[in-house]
A and B are shown apart, each in its own frame.
Chain A
Amino acid sequence: MVGWEVPIGAAIAFAAGAIGTGWAQSRIGAAGAGAIAERPETAGTIIILEAIPETLVILGFVVAAMILLMVE
């Protein structure tokens, strides 16, 4: 039987990753919108840049999953 601290730990790991991703994407999104407005040919690069912070939330998800699955 796991205690309450395990799901809380998993939630923190996932939430921190999600918040970080959200913040980074908002900044990249705003700057990217500005860049695309002036130079539409940069759209492909901007989409890739916008996706990079997703790694943060994926990492958070993996850590959360590991906490839930590996901690007995």
Chain B
Amino acid sequence: MPQITYIDSDGNKHEVELPLGATIMEGAVQNDIKGIIAECGGSCMCATCHCYISDEFLDKLPEMEEEEDEMLEGAVAPRTERSRLGCQVRINAALDGLIVEIPQEQ
């Protein structure tokens, strides 16, 4: 299983293994990572699973749909080129070693 490192909203590091096909958001919720709220449960409806992806993985991520793009515009923490919604990124083998940073606000 790919290993993912979350840096939670308090700056603490958590290394976890996620099953293929799980989303970054689900991985955070299931592992009790602080800062991911995911109010809508992964329906791309609330922008409360905003996270920052480590640079070297940006081009390995699934492409962003228009909907996610729009939601990110409304996210509370500043949007950067590393911004994604955790519910829209599914873990695949190429994402082994991914580092996900959670902003302080959702």
Tell whether A pairs with B. no
B→A interface (CB under 8 Å): none
